[in-house]
């Protein structure tokens, strides 16, 4: 009994410590009280250090005790007829490693940001968003139902958009934050549709226990191949938005307009890997819907090839790292589609740690590059020439043009998708204005009647 209480407390603390830090920062700010930078750093650092410690202890206790799953029920938020929104946290072989490296990386980025954003006017705003992101991500990772995943998923999305637009006094960060926000909203329809259909077909969106083929809890499989294929396809669509997969990944290099620490934690380490995490949770669905598994492989492979070529022509380090992240996440999609789940999990953790370090080092990279050239007395030799040896010479100019245009994906989406929607909405607006004008002109002007009566 004591062991179960300890496990439940550790699982709950991983989420509630960042949530408590968010409240400690938000409540004084709401009432206009100023919080010093040292106090902000102490609150955030303590919360994520505690969450990292709890995740480490949880891993150790579960391993030594031989427990595969720990479920913590926190109660019901609301219920309507046959629908219940239950707050349930689940710790298993997938969620605990994710929760551990999320807490560790967010805490590390918070410590790094202390000097990077020192005396920045939006210092408190940055840490509020960072803490909200950490708490929301832990909620997504530990969620025991698809409904809770959607709740945390939306909070992660709005936090990402706000941090991209952090320097809102400039126009481009706001535009790029809005683009990321729109991409998330369009793809999040898939997650919402999957949750609704799960309730309709299964009666619940809660996780089921591990299976011989899936070593951790997964979403229940609806009866019939068609229903499983639909739910799997909707989850894939949602994952493509968060995971910046082709042709929807154009927002990722633009997201680098935000502060460098937030770029590292969001688009190099954690946020971009939530898409693969969702697909790992949907492992049983992929088993019963081979067409969706094949689509996951095709999407990941296409993205990896596209991002590899486009990343080679980028002229700034952050954009190059953004496309490098897209390449690795595409490969992770391929691993998940082929059923290599533990390999995908190890790939996610390793890539997240490496990419965070690279993005944090990106502002100093050019400085180090110049020092190295001065020490050698010549330009550094060109790297990455292995691709030219495998690509026919006649094909190289076309691939170079393809890379410069970023695969023409942005042009296609703007020309045929965005402009179509804008034209449709403008036509609706024109019809609405015409209808209002018609009703206004048909209404008699009653204000003139009293004046005429007075003249009589």
Q: State how far the Cα of 73 lies from the Cα of 205, in Å rounded to an integer.
A: 15
Question: Mean pLDDT over residues 203-228, rounded?
Answer: 82
**Token representation of residue 328:** 């690795």
**Token representation of residue 43:** 């609150």
User: Any idea which of 31-40, 201-210, 337-346 has the lowest mean pLDDT?
Assistant: 201-210
Q: Are 44 and 157 in contact (CB under 8 A)?
A: no
Q: DSSP states of 194-208 as a string?
A: HHHHHHHHTS--BEE
Q: State how far the Cα of 147 lies from the Cα of 205, in Å rounded to an integer.
A: 7
| Max mean pLDDT range (17-31, 261-275, 365-379) | 17-31
- Would the pLDDT of 215 be above 90? no
Confidence grade of residue 456 (pLDDT, cut at 50, 70, 90): very low
- Would the pLDDT of 85 be above 50? yes
- pLDDT score of 81: 75
Q: Are 159 and 133 in contact (CB under 8 A)?
A: yes
Name the pTM for this structure.
0.86
User: Any idea which of 38-42, 119-123, 256-260, 265-269 has the lowest mean pLDDT?
Assistant: 265-269
- Would the pLDDT of 24 be above 50? yes
- Would the pLDDT of 96 be above 90? yes
Backbone angles phi, psi at 245, to 5 degrees: -90, 150
Q: State how far the Cα of 168 lies from the Cα of 125, in Å rounded to an integer.
A: 12
Helices (H), 66-120: 95-116
Q: Are 96 and 62 in contact (CB under 8 A)?
A: yes
Confidence grade of residue 36 (pLDDT, cut at 50, 70, 90): very high
Q: State how far the Cα of 187 lies from the Cα of 206, in Å rounded to an integer.
A: 21
Q: DSSP states of 146-183 as a string?
A: HHHHHHHHHHHHHHHHHHHTSSTTSHHHHHHHHHHHHH
Question: Mean pLDDT over residues 294-306, rounded?
Answer: 94
Confidence grade of residue 366 (pLDDT, cut at 50, 70, 90): low
- Would the pLDDT of 198 be above 60? yes
Confidence grade of residue 82 (pLDDT, cut at 50, 70, 90): confident
- Would the pLDDT of 416 be above 80? no
Confidence grade of residue 136 (pLDDT, cut at 50, 70, 90): very high
User: Any idea which of 34-38, 160-164, 312-316, 358-362 has the lowest mean pLDDT?
Assistant: 358-362
- pLDDT score of 328: 93
Confidence grade of residue 453 (pLDDT, cut at 50, 70, 90): very low
Nearest to 400 by CA among 327, 314, 331, 321: 314
């Amino acid at each position: 009994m004591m062991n179960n209480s300890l496990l439940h407390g550790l699982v709950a603390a991983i989420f509630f410590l960042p949530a408590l830090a968010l409240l400690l920062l938000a409540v004084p700010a709401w009432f206009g009280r100023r919080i010093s930078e040292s106090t902000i750093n102490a609150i955030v650092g303590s919360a994520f250090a505690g969450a990292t410690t709890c995740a480490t202890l949880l891993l150790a206790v579960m391993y030594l005790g031989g427990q595969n799953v720990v479920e913590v029920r926190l109660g019901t938020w609301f219920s309507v007829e046959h629908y219940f929104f239950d707050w349930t946290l689940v710790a298993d072989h997938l969620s605990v490693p994710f929760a551990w490296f999320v807490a560790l990386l967010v805490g590390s980025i918070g410590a790094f940001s202390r000097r990077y954003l020192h005396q920045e006017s939006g210092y408190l705003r940055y840490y509020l968003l960072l803490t909200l992101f950490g708490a929301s991500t832990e909620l997504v990772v530990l969620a025991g139902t698809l409904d809770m995943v959607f709740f945390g998923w939306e909070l992660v999305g709005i936090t990402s958009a706000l941090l991209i637009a952090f320097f809102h006094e400039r126009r481009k960060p706001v535009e790029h934050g809005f683009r990321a926000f729109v991409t998330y909203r369009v793809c999040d329809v898939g997650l919402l549709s999957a949750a609704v259909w799960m309730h309709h077909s299964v009666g619940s969106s809660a996780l089921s226990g591990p299976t011989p083929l899936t070593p951790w809890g997964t979403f229940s499989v609806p009866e019939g191949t068609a229903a499983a294929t639909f739910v799997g396809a909707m989850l894939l669509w949602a994952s493509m938005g968060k995971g910046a997969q082709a042709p929807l990944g154009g927002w990722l290099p633009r997201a680098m307009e935000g502060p460098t620490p937030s770029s590292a934690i969001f688009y190099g380490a954690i946020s971009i890997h939530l898409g693969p995490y969702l697909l790992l949770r949907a492992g049983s669905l992929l088993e019963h819907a081979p067409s969706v598994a094949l689509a996951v492989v095709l999407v990941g492979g296409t993205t990896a090839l596209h991002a590899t070529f486009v990343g080679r022509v980028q002229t700034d380090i952050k954009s190059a790292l953004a496309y490098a992240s897209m390449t690795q996440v595409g490969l992770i999609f391929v691993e998940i589609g082929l059923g290599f789940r533990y390999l995908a999990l190890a790939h996610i953790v390793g890539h997240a740690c490496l990419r965070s370090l690279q993005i944090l080092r990106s502002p100093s990279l050019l400085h180090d590059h110049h020092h190295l050239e001065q020490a050698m007395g010549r330009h550094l030799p060109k790297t990455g020439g292995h691709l030219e040896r495998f690509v026919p010479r006649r094909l190289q100019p076309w691939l170079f043009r393809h890379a410069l245009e970023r695969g023409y994906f942005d042009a296609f989406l703007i020309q045929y998708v965005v402009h179509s929607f804008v034209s449709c909405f403008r036509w609706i607006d024109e019809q609405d204005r015409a209808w209002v004008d018609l009703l206004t002109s048909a209404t008699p002007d009653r204000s003139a009647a009293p004046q005429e009566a007075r003249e009589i």
